[in-house]
Structure 1
């Protein structure tokens, strides 16, 4: 994205990107993931065939160093869709014992993304954000409360003073958070479906099943029909 002669923004010239260097870096990350036996998710720009703009993506690499999936950001900001990226088309669920869903940045402001992952029965959504925005983190945390799954919230280290990266438990509690000192760091937590913590037990075994039942037509047969005391909304 750049400014034209009149000062207005113009579409990004993606031909200027060193795509070979980006590919080398991505491949080196995959190699390291295999060497350390770590499932790894990292963000990058994924080139498409001209004339299409690239996707803003998350690459998923297995613990064997193989790229197994890619999530393409579906909901873009006005600037992104106008000048930068092509939107993606579908959610992504990756299964390795637990079921993981994926989202990017401004998508936190689209509840339908996170509701869809609840319907897809994920255990955790990994959300990567490139902004120092405290309200965005609070909204992300709320999805742990609303949908009762874990949520990984990842931001660059330079934004940690305002909102450090962390992991939200089902029910909405921050399980662990990185330091807020601006330095790169790791945060580690157990994602255990058999966890004994009271709030996680309540979220996974009570709240989540009950809310699914409530959404599946539980109330339809219980709605009063033809009762004037119910139908009239202007009387005490």
Structure 2
């Protein structure tokens, strides 16, 4: 969860869903999983043992960063969701934000505004 390079690699591999299993009773894991889902535009399934559920229940998080379904916090449960690319609630995350972020990361959207200035390349001169 705490190694963003691995999550970026999954994005670069154009995955639809990352399945993440952990044994943690730290509630920050839910927040970080939601952030990764939203930043990279894919579903995240976070699976935890039932004894960790009071802090962070298992969940499936949508590409918009919101949980689609949480497991019960009082015992074991299997949760299922459809990974629906046509869901109108996910249109912005999947079909607008994810492609825009890909273009932004490549640097193409700002290429026309790029300034070539000696001060940008030689940073040791006064």
TM-score by length of structure 1 reads: 0.48
- Give the structure with the larger helix fraction: 2
Specify the structure having the higher radius of gyration (Cα). Answer: 1
SS at match of 1:115: helix
Matched, 1:222 2:120: no
Counterpart-to-counterpart distance in 2, 1:159 and 1:214: 38
2:41 to 148, 153, 171: 148
The number of residues matched between the two structures is: 120
| CA deviations over 1:133-157 (Å, ceiling 9, x no partner) | 1112211110011001000010001
RMSD: 1.8
SS at match of 1:131: coil
2:98 equivalent in structure 1: 208
Higher relative contact order (CA closer than 8 Å, sequence separation 6+): 2
1:119 to 6, 9, 12: 12
Give how far 1:227 is off.
Answer: 9.3
- Give the structure with the larger strand fraction: 1
1:174 equivalent in structure 2: 67
TM-score by length of structure 2 reads: 0.88
| CA deviations over 1:74-118 (Å, ceiling 9, x no partner) | xxxxxxxxxxxxxxxxxxxxxxxxxxxxxxxxxx10000000000
Counterpart-to-counterpart distance in 1, 2:117 and 2:52: 57
Counterpart-to-counterpart distance in 1, 2:83 and 2:9: 21
Give how far 1:126 is off.
Answer: 0.4
